[in-house]
Structures are given as C-alpha cells and as structure tokens.
Homo-oligomer: A and B are copies of this chain.
Amino acid sequence: MTDTGTSPAHWAAVDWGTTHLRLWVLDHDHKVIRQTKTEQGMTQLHPTEYEATLLDLLSQELQPNRAMGVICCGMVGSRQGWQEVPYAPCPTLPPSGERASRVTTKDPRIEVYLLPGIKQISPPDVMRGEETQIAGFLSRNPQYDGVLCLPGTHSKWVHISAGEVVSFQTFMTGELFALLCKESVLRHNIGATGWNDEMFTNAIDDAISRPAAIAAKLFALRAQSLIATLPPEAARARLSGLLIGLELAAARPYWLGAQVAVLGDTEVAQAYCTALTAQGSPVTVTSTERMTLDGLKSAYTALQEMTK
C-alpha cells in the first residue's frame, strides 16, 4: 500500500451487505473524498463478480502503480459471499484489522480485506456487519458498558463490557414486518407509509402483556379492517408495535435497568426509542452510517499497524 500516485484517494471502506453496498473513498487522513451506495449486494452477485464490481466502482481512483487498500465488512464475508471468513467466537473484542482476511484478487491495483462476523455458540447466534458498527461505536465511546440495540431486518441486542461483545441476541422482527406487510394477507390492510403514535404504543403494551397471542393479534388486524374501521396507517403502526413489543418482551433481560444505546438513523430506530422510553427505559440514539465507517477506519488503522 505504498503511495506513489497523485490522487488524494488512499483507501476504500465498504459496507457490503445482503442487498446493498456502501462504499467510501478516503484520503490518507481518513477524510471522505467520495461515497456511493448501490444495490450490488450479495444476493445480486456471483462470487466471481465481486472483484469486477469493486474495480468498476473505484475506476476513477485506481492507479497503475499502487495497490489501494480496500476493507469490507458484512455479508461479503459469508458462505454465500465473496469468500467465507470464519466468525470470531464471542465473548470477543469486535474483530478489527488483525482479524481481517486477505482475498486473492487478479488485479494488482487493489488489496482487499474482509472482516469476520461474530458467532455465539449457545444460544446459537451470528452477526456480520453489526460488529463493525459496534467497533465504530466503541471507538467513540471506549468506556461504554451496557447494552446496544441495533434495529434492522434482523435486530440485535448486544451486551458490551470491557470493550467486548459479551453476548447477543438476534430477532427477525424487521424481516417479519416486511413479509407481513408485503406478502401476507395483511398486505390489503397495511399502509405502505403513515403512522399513528397512539396505536403504536398501545400495541407495544398489548404485545408485552400477552406475547403468545401474536399470531392471533396479527389476524385481528385483518379482521378489524374488514368488520370495523382500521385506517391503513393505523394498521401499519399497530403491526410495527406488535412486533417490536414482542421483541421487547423477550429482550427485557437486556434493557431492564440497563444503559441502552440504540444505533440507527431510521424511522424504525426512532420507533424502538419511543417504545423503550414508554417502558420507562431511557435510551440514546446514534447514527449507524457514521458508526460503520468509524469501525472500518479503526480496522484499516489496525491493518496498517500490522503491515508497517
């Protein structure tokens, strides 16, 4: 990674997930020169297509006499990704540059590293990508001791102590919400947008007080739309509240009486905050985009230390 060129572009950071890819080009001082987001996620790519995808995305910056360092986190390192990188077993520090795996590339202008995810043997659980967000959070909050909540397709609750991921639990909440909205019989009754705070917080309470009845409460959304009046945006807020409430009921050991930071900049992260606050658990929220990039910066710095 010796720099003989004139471009200020020094390295690239990539958050390479299931459905999307986010790439940042940075200079020597880790200042972002350019960033882009595409839909070239893992599900769109055959293992042989990752290198060409990177070369294409970096074509403006690559130089003939220099190998640009590229560090990636996320599903790119899974069995269905570019190359499988074995999980680090928890408890563990969030995997950084020392744990990255070099991928063999044909083009000498790139030098690509993939970060591993974390696995937990019992109860069985895995993460890929979130560990880098966590590393980013910890790089800014090195003394943090408490719980992180990472809402998303597969939301995670993570117990952090002494800088380590001690334990974690994943919930399919986001994916269930999407499937029920788009693919189930409820699609006729759930609005694509819109919200109703009261419906949401009532549904949270409802799910927490009787979590087992979730499959009946879901069908009741349809019944209510048919025999009474349930506006589509109210149905959407209630569905979200039922599913997040169900998750909170099971995740209680994580949040009850604990310091919780919600990582996320989405409407959903906001909904988690509303829900936790309503349950009497004060929370802070932090943007994850910055966290992921911060985690990738830490990993790149560690990698440079090693290859010095």
A interface residues, Cβ below 8 angstroms from B: 79-80, 87, 119-121, 123-126, 154, 169-173, 175-176, 179-180, 183-185, 188, 208, 210-216, 218-220, 222-224, 226-228, 243, 246-247, 249-251
B179 and A184 within 8 A (CB): yes
A216-B218 Cα distance, complex, nearest whole Å: 18
A215-B223 Cα distance, complex, nearest whole Å: 23
A170-B224 Cα distance, complex, nearest whole Å: 12
B171 and A175 within 8 A (CB): no
Contact of A185 among B154, B184, B223 (CB under 8 A): B154
Contact of A228 among B124, B211, B212, B219 (CB under 8 A): B124
B246 and A169 within 8 A (CB): no
Leading 6 A-B pairs by shortest Cβ distance: A211-B212, A212-B249, A213-B250, A171-B215, A212-B250, A124-B223
CB distance from A177 to the nearest CB of B (A): 10
B215 and A246 within 8 A (CB): yes
Contact of A124 among B154, B208, B220 (CB under 8 A): B220
Q: Determine the chain B residues whose CB is within 8 A of the CB of A219 once the complex forms.
A: 125, 154, 170-172
- Considering the complex, give the chain B residue whose CB is closest to the CB of A176: B215
A214-B247 Cα distance, complex, nearest whole Å: 8
B172 and A215 within 8 A (CB): yes
CB distance from A192 to the nearest CB of B (A): 18
CB distance from A102 to the nearest CB of B (A): 23
A183-B181 Cα distance, complex, nearest whole Å: 13
Q: Determine the chain B residues whose CB is within 8 A of the CB of A79 once the complex forms.
A: 226
Given the known inter-chain contacts A170-B223, A210-B250, please indicate yes or no for A183 contacting B183, CB distance below 8 A: yes
Given the known inter-chain contacts A172-B218, A215-B172, A250-B213, please indicate yes or no for A126 contacting B227, CB distance below 8 A: yes
Q: List 8 A-B contacts (CB under 8 A).
A: A87-B227, A124-B224, A154-B185, A172-B219, A176-B215, A179-B183, A214-B214, A214-B250
Most buried by B among A80, A185, A219, A246: A219
CB distance from A151 to the nearest CB of B (A): 12
